[in-house]
Amino acid sequence: MMNENRDAMHAHPKAPALPAAPAVLISEVGPRDGLQSVRAVMPTAHKLAWIDALHASGLREIEVGSFVPARTLPQMADVAEVVRHAIALPGWTVMALVPNLRGAQAALQAGVHKLTIPASASEAHSLANVRRSRAEMVAVVREVVALRDAVAPGVPVEIGMSTAFGCTLQGAVPDDEVVWLAEQLAQAGVDEIGLSDTTGMANPVQVRRLFQRVRAAIGDKTGSAHLHNTRGLGLANCLAAWDVGVRTFDASLGGLGGCPYAPGASGNVVTEDLVFMFEAMGVATGVDLGRLIAAREALKAGLPGEALYGFNLSFGMA
């Protein structure tokens, strides 16, 4: 890596200095993954204030909601309004989750910068979660890509491959099946495929191995690491993914959400902890940790009484 940089400098000795781009991209998923996992419905005004606070911290990517029927997830009934608010804030990528063509149409109409589609590596989870087999889900993805190509060719489509590291319904998910599904989805025309530890079953050796295998199969279409802290391995798993070249990480402020079936257990990796880890390592995130921690107040105001997670937040912050 160092030698490459040196060669590049010699090749372009007079290239103007550009502001340093973040070395890792932290993608905040709290307003989607977090809110859909809690029972309470956050009032829209509180959601918008929370999103403003997240933006002010320097985050450059956010998943703001899901385009699903309000009767399925009342927490997401205001998603179009939330998208319109978020896209008016400068300098970040606003994503929304869309489970099908109808959701994708609504999301593109609202003006999202990027679509994310959930696809389960586990057949049992796919049938339970979206009532479709994996092969049927690949067909849905093809439809969404065709729509994107027709009406919004600049909008990337990302897959969040859930249960890639294991499934509470069927147990182990063989690596070969994850690689197979990644290849199918890449062929369907998506731009990125991230791997999600939906059930918090991953370990660092597995994370390294699976990201390497997926990268060998689909190259630069390998996307984000969406890792959970259900069993305390969230940061270790993020570091393992970083070790093998992953540079985009999903995380949730206060660790909100991610584990609807285990009340009291933390789910998503805590954004604050993740930013702290990378910054301490000298890896730039572009996020101001103090402002990020301050954004917890906006989250608490909108969801009073909800448990939030994170280590040693007060250390060194005075």
Residues in touch with Zn ion (CB under 5 A): 33, 258, 268
> Residue 25 corresponds to which tokens in the numbers above?
């991209």
Tell whether the torsion through CA atoms of 196, 202, 205 and 210 is positive or negative: negative
Q: Which residue is nearest to Zn ion (CB)?
A: 258
> Residue 61 corresponds to which tokens in the numbers above?
């990517």
Q: Which residues share a beta bridge with 62?
A: 28, 94
The closest alpha carbon to 57, from 290, 275, 298, belongs to: 290
- Please report how close the Cβ of residue 33 comes to Zn ion at its closest, in angstroms: 4
Q: Which is closer to Zn ion, CB of 95 or CB of 145?
A: 95
Reduced to 3 states (helix: H, G, I; strand: E, B; else coil), residue 6 is: helix
Q: Which is closer to Zn ion, CB of 28 or CB of 33?
A: 33
Query: What is the chain's alpha carbon radius of gyration, rounded to the nearest angstrom?
Result: 19
> Residue 119 corresponds to which tokens in the numbers above?
């696809």
238 is catalytic: no
- Please report how close the Cβ of residue 258 comes to Zn ion at its closest, in angstroms: 4
Cα distances (Å, whole numbers) of residue 50 to 14, 113, 207: 42, 19, 31
- Please report how close the Cβ of residue 23 comes to Zn ion at its closest, in angstroms: 23
Q: Which is closer to Zn ion, CB of 37 or CB of 285?
A: 37
Q: Which is closer to Zn ion, CB of 152 or CB of 259?
A: 259
Note the residue count of the chain.
318
| Residue among 24, 259, 269, 275 flagged as catalytic | 259
- Please report how close the Cβ of residue 252 comes to Zn ion at its closest, in angstroms: 7
- Please report how close the Cβ of residue 29 comes to Zn ion at its closest, in angstroms: 6
What distance, in Å, lies between the first and last C-alpha atoms of the chain?
Answer: 37
Q: Which is closer to Zn ion, CB of 34 or CB of 286?
A: 34
Neighbours of 106 (CB within 10 A): 17
**Residues classed as catalytic:** 259
